[in-house]
Structure 1
Amino acid sequence: QNLEAKKINDEKKAALAAQFAAEATLRRVHAAQKDDDMPPIEAILAPLEAELKLARQEIAKLQDDNRALDRLTKSKEAALLEAERTVQIALAKASLVDDLQNKNQELMKQIEICQEENKILDRMHRQKVAEVEKLTQTVRELEEAVLAGGAMANAVRDYQRKVQEMNEEMKTLDRELAHAKVSANRVAVVVANE
């Protein structure tokens, strides 16, 4: 773009220089009009006017080119600004992606820690379940023992009652035996007397 602009400026300067040269030639022609050997002024002016017209056309073309180049430069500057904005957005997104990746790694670590904790809790849960099962078995055994103990206690009470009844019967028998001995003694005394 810079080389093209420089070329256009150089051509513009050359066209202006040609115009100035043509104007200087015209001034010399007007100054020399007093000389009779000079050709008619129209003959001199016609090629110069044609050259001047061409130079003006070239200048207009160069100005058009310069305006087009200016529009192209502005368009490219706008495209460059848009590209810079796009790059900034892409960098912001890349930074966001990095942040998300870092957070994802942290979450993965937390998940691993939670999984380890879950394994430990699962082992503890299985141990507690085994302990509960053992305690349940012990409770069943104790209940059975209590039931058996209750039956034995009833049997002991029955035996104690029977022993009491037998003691009562023994006392009754002892009294009857004592009466019988007394009666026997009396009978023996009576028999001995007789």
Structure 2
Amino acid sequence: MKVAQPLTQFEQQLSRLQRQGLLAADVLNFFGSRSAGSPFIEAAERLFDLGTGDISFDAAPIVLPSEHGAYVSAWVWVERRGPPFESESHDRRPAVNFSETLEALQAQGLTVQVCIDYIGQQQRDSIFVQDARRFYQHKRGVVVFDADPMVSESAHGAYVNAWLWVWNRDVDLTRGADPLAFPPRRCCRREGSNGFCYTGNCSFYK
């Protein structure tokens, strides 16, 4: 039997914030705020958002640039198998701004990868993750997933966190964007047995 490992300091803090209402989207929006205005976001929305709801973007997607393009964070929709899940009605979550707390934790060394890993591991056995990998397996390298992607579940299905690849050539450079402004970093991604993930060594999102 696998013995549960004790939570790290950051995981304990994230657990406390989750009890206060912290969602995966809150984490992505916080770390994605530094990517505001990136031409890769607009290009990703143009290329992947067909208006069907199959692919959705947060208010502030994360952009991981590299020499030839960038990965942009998004959510892919997976239908629930069988009838809709019946759950008790809950009041709408009160508006809570976690930015100040996350900023303080970031100053102590918290990274988006730590957050994704912690939240994703809670949903490691989700059937939605398996279905998302299978559905997008033909998009290998274009639509990729972390080793343990985050899941946002609802009655009729779930959105699974993914990363969408956008080439530099897909960005509209005619509107004044300087191609030299795209950092020639390599995405710190590696392919694991369960799919794609990144190592967390990239200084972009630390």
TM-score for both structures, normalised by structure 1: 0.15
Higher relative contact order (CA 8 A, sep 6+): 2
Larger Rg: 1
TM-score between the two structures when normalised by the length of structure 2: 0.15
Query: Whose helix proportion is higher, 1 or 2?
Result: 1
Higher strand share: 2
